[in-house]
Amino acid sequence: MNFLDQLNNTQREAVTCTEGASLIVAGAGSGKTRVLTYRIAYLLQQGVPASRIMALTFTNKAAREMKERIQKLVGADARYLMMGTFHHVCTKLLRPEADKLGFTRDFTIYDTTDSKSVLKAICKERGLDEKIYKPGAVQARISMLKNSGVSPAQYGANTQLLREDREARMYEMMTVYEQYQVRLRAANAMDFDDLLINTLVLMRTFPEVRERIQTQFQYILVDEYQDTNYIQFLLVKMLAEPQNNICVVGDDAQSIYSFRGADIRNILNFRQQYPDAKLFKLERNYRSTQTIVNAANSLIHKNVHQIEKTVYSEKEQGQPLRLQPYMDDRTEALGVATAIQRQKHKGYDSFAVLYRTNAQSRVIEGELRKLNIPYRIYGGTSFYQRKEIKDALGYLRLAVNPRDNEALLRIVGFPGRGIGETTMKKVSLNAIEHHKPYLDVMRRPDDTGLDVSAGTAKKLQAFAAYMDGLSEQSETMDAYTFTEMVLRTSGVMTALALDRSQEGIDRAQNVQELLNAIREFVEQRVNEGIDYTPITDFLSEVSLQTDQDENLTDTSERVTLMTVHAAKGLEFPVVFIVGMEENLFPSQFAVKPNEVEEERRLLYVAITRAMEQCHLSFARQRFRNGTFNFASPSRFLNDIDRQFFELTRPAAPERPSFGLKDRSAERPAQAPVRPATPVREAQTPIASSWKEGDRVSHRVFGVGTVLRVYRDEVTENDKIEIRFDTQGTKTLLLTHAKLERA
């Protein structure tokens, strides 16, 4: 059967229109991956060589799945596609040309942990306050600068950036940035952001390289284009020139990564960049019920900056969204756990609990454990971020790149060989002073006058000699054989085997799993016709792993807990979205209109993860920062048309439940649709000792005039609205306002 027959009309048109620029706006659940995959398959079917196609994705997992599907559609030619993440593709483009930029072909790729380690060392050497110059914050700042195209030289001329540093009391940030780049180059290393920037520099600086790359890749395809940053935008633009056979796929309504540098303007302004670009809108949702899709539409249409589209579903109408208020975050967690338990016949894998911040998971985990409900937290510690794995990889990294100082510092003390921190501090300071890699100093300590005893000097030389031997062997042995030899001769496996605690056993098993992963990697390459796989190829693959690429080794059924950001791209029959409160969702840090719009897009993503049921809840008070704080329902609840809601209430405040009984059968078959009503309009006047016009005094807000007293039917709270003389209008919980007559 022709695979084009599996597409709807709009999808088919987007697949077969291959020449020139194309923008495919793919609504949630509309078959975006299928369209991108089939478009590549169609190009191959039309005779375009696989080596002429470049497809850029945001996860290695997405690239692997697409390649597998293409192979099933058109055959084995797909293995020659240049397909992978931006970082993966840039690494392949850079290695053959690295010498032009002053690097060797075997340059090391520093992950986030490596970068933080370098930055921590720089800040410590300069005597900077660790409480101010936190490695994570400094690393994130530098990454944002790089993604925005700001070099250390440009940094010093940017008054706004320097002002931000002064406000954060990070007066030496520019110097730290400069030193960080010096250390990277000295270590023959690049971080993730450098892979992109240096590819751009390479193509700009060397026209012959740029022309060769542009000639080789005639068709450029980009997935999740709404998540691209400024540097990625420039890269894509240059790669596509001059033919401009560029196809970008994405959904502006799901642009939620501005904190990583993503710029929604890239997709919003695509047709301005390419005036002749064809626009395709994939608006049919194949995932969710009509009610879920319509509710999500009513929400996202409140955003000003968007590409107009109306996503629709042809599935069953489905149940309304359930909105549940709770007394506090503990009863909210208990309500979610109880609701899951009532529907456990669906299988625990059917449920996902989504939250805005990681801190919200603690109380939910506690209630799930009490009811013996198994769960997993998606986005936990990655396999390749575990200490024992990074230690093992450290030996491999240093073997192929003797200038990798971070790898050396990680492994020199494991297993113990009599080289302590004091000695290594002397080595590092001496190496920095003489502009040498640490291993050079250890190899010949007398040449630089290293101040260590004769016994210590022998230990340093012995370690350096061992690593030199590994470097030679790495060039002749395949990845698996080499790794097995390194782990055995270095003493890593022996040291792990001697620890018979459960943690030690787990660590040893993890290292064994690393060997298994390398063996599978080598075997996969053999199946692709590649006879020899050096360890550098595997190290590149590992360095480019993303959170979403992590395989869950536990395949038993479990409820999934995760942040909304982590949920993008996933789907579940039943979704719970907790913490729908002001200053939580939307975040208290969302102040500007564009920030609020991104928070609204984030909720859109959360709702559209649901296939059959979507539950939203909020707490009247939440334990945050060590105290209980009163909370108001999120403003976004007003943005969803009330006709798509069913408000449920706990039977008793002490033990809430979601009221999961499906009441759709109790309604008349042709019941008229209720008009949309904002959540906050569900209010009833109540009898109170306070009345409109009373002058009152509040210990925080001062003196004011009562505007009204009412019962909020959504939160089930009695509230009082007061216009204070100096603080504006406030709405307070009547039972906690502690008012006095003025």
Among residues 120, 410, 507, 609, the one annotated as catalytic is 609
Q: Residue 547: CB partners within 8 Å, gap ≥ 6?
A: 379, 382, 566
* Annotated catalytic residue 32: yes
Cβ proximity of 44 and 74 under 8 Å: yes
Segment among 88-102, 265-279, 355-369, 661-675 with least mean pLDDT: 661-675
Tokens at 145, concatenated: 């600068």
Among residues 97, 111, 194, 224, the one annotated as catalytic is 224
Q: Let me know if 571 is exposed, middle or buried by CB neighbors in 10 A (0-12, 13-18, 19+).
A: middle
Q: What's the CA gap between 173 and 155, in Å, rounded?
A: 10
Q: What's the CA gap between 60 and 65, in Å, rounded?
A: 9
* Annotated catalytic residue 609: yes
Q: What's the CA gap between 295 and 635, in Å, rounded?
A: 15
Q: What's the CA gap between 347 and 716, in Å, rounded?
A: 33
Per residue in 590-636, pLDDT (tens digit) is 889 999 999 999 999 999 999 999 999 999 988 665 456 788 999 99
Q: Give the alpha-carbon dihedral of 319, 324, 330, 331, to 10 degrees.
A: -90
pTM of the full structure:
0.75
SS3 call for 288: coil
* Annotated catalytic residue 223: yes
Residue 161 CA, distance from chain mean position? 25
| CA distances to 83, 94, 241, 253 from 99, in Å | 24, 9, 25, 42
Q: Average pLDDT of the chain?
A: 87
Among residues 223, 329, 367, 406, the one annotated as catalytic is 223
- State the residue for tokens 């933080």: 116
Segment among 222-236, 456-470, 695-709 with least mean pLDDT: 695-709
Highest-pLDDT range among 64-68, 309-313, 660-664? 309-313
Per residue in 102-130, pLDDT (tens digit) is 999 999 999 888 999 999 999 999 999 88
Intra-chain end-to-end CA distance of the chain, in Å:
81
Q: What is the DSSP letter of 12?
A: H
Tokens at 45, concatenated: 């079917």
Residue 717: the pLDDT is 63
Among residues 11, 32, 563, 598, the one annotated as catalytic is 32
What average pLDDT does the segment 133-157 reach? 88
Q: What's the CA gap between 272 and 265, in Å, rounded?
A: 11
* Annotated catalytic residue 458: no
* Annotated catalytic residue 33: yes
Tokens at 455, concatenated: 């016994």
Residue 663: the pLDDT is 34
Residues 632-654 as b or e (16 or more Cβ within 10 Å = b): bbbbbbbbbbbbbbbbbbbeeee
Cβ proximity of 335 and 324 under 8 Å: yes
Among residues 139, 226, 232, 254, the one annotated as catalytic is 254
The strand order across the sheet containing 278-282 reads 82-85, 53-57, 219-222, 246-250, 22-26, 278-282
Going by pLDDT thresholds of 50, 70 and 90, the confidence category of residue 380 is: low
**Ramachandran class of 678: left when φ > 0, alpha when ψ lies in -120 to 50, beta otherwise:** beta
Per residue in 202-233, pLDDT (tens digit) is 999 999 999 999 999 999 999 999 999 999 99
Q: Is the dihedral of CA 633, 637, 643, 649 positive or negative?
A: negative
Segment among 160-169, 320-329, 364-373, 499-508 with least mean pLDDT: 499-508
Among residues 18, 33, 481, 705, the one annotated as catalytic is 33
